Amino acid sequence: MSKTKTKRARRELKRDGNRKIAAFHRKAAKDAPVPASTLKPGAKKQKMNTPDAKPQPAPKPPVQASQKHEPPFSEYDHILLVGEGDFSFARSLVHEHGCANVTATSLDSEEEVQQKYPNFKVIHAELSALAPPVPLHHGIDATKLSTYKPLRCERDDEDGEQGWDTICFQFPHTGGLSTDVNRQVRANQALLVDFFKSCLEITDPKKRLQIRQAQRNKNLVQKRIPCYLKMGGRIVVTLFEGEPYTLWNVRDLARHAGLKVVESSRFDWDMYPGYKHVRTLGTIEGGGAWKGEDRDARMYVFEKIPLQPDTDEEREIQKRKKEGGKKQPFKSNKRVRDADSDGDER
């Protein structure tokens, strides 16, 4: 598909999304309950005789204008979603926000997703019917993202920049591995740390050392390896408010992994129409004791920055520099590397 046709398709997708948002607001206004002040005098509200009915959760206070944040997802950003359940968040980004370059993944296989989440069949059909269809990948471990070659972001930008703009993990959780709170906290902290390191491609100390050397030797001519997450790209994580989630200390985990904390804001469920929170174990008959949409949540945004120097790494870099002997002239280095790369291609 040519760039002109692609842009036209994106504009049509955006207009279609705006129409759906407007239709959603009209339907919400139509279904809104009539205020008590508009009832006729003497009219009484009927009470339902349902002693076994579950108490309805208190309505959430509306988000004030000063607290609202724009979604950290732009229309033309290359977005990777990991840990999806029924893929309703992917559908919301595409339909309601007009995001044209979304790729979504799940840890479960496609068969497991179909068994856990009955809504997936409809969502899958909607995402597959788009032009181009939204790529869905199953059996993807969020802690090993950079090892999956099909998930490398290939883009045709004029500046030649590669890598994802945004990688998003909605409500990460290891599942009910233990009833012990401390063990649960440690397990989920390990999940987040490994996820951050995988996005930055620093799970292997050797790989991290290579990145540090490349940062130090900016003028060194070498074969360019595309980044998984581009420099300045963002990682988005959404968690519920309150314990035990606040015990995870997600900000500190991100800083320790080498990320910059950009912001955190209250997660506005109404900003993502059609998105429903689902559990790791799957859909519970009867809906369970609570719904994720009724709970307060917070969205954290982190940014990829150059890796900060580490004492051991600096010592190793200096050691390798000494073992390499005198530095060869720039022109000679380029010829040697060009010859090596030609040999690799053959």
Give residue 212's pLDDT.
62
Distances (CA, A) of 299 to 91, 96, 237, 246, 302: 19, 18, 6, 12, 10
pLDDT in tens, 215-250: 666 554 444 556 899 999 999 999 999 999 999 999
pLDDT in tens, 75-127: 999 999 999 999 999 999 999 999 999 999 999 999 999 999 999 999 999 99
| Strand partners for 300 | 237, 264
pLDDT in tens, 26-59: 565 556 554 444 444 444 444 444 445 445 555 5
Instruction: Spell out the domains of the chain, with CATH numbers in brackets.
Output: 79-283+290-314 (3.40.50.150)
Quick one: DSSP state of residue 297?
E
DSSP characters over 84-118? -SSSHHHHHHHHHH--SEEEEEESS-HHHHHHH-T
Structure tokens at 241: 């408010």
Cis? peptide before 226, omega within 30° of 0? no
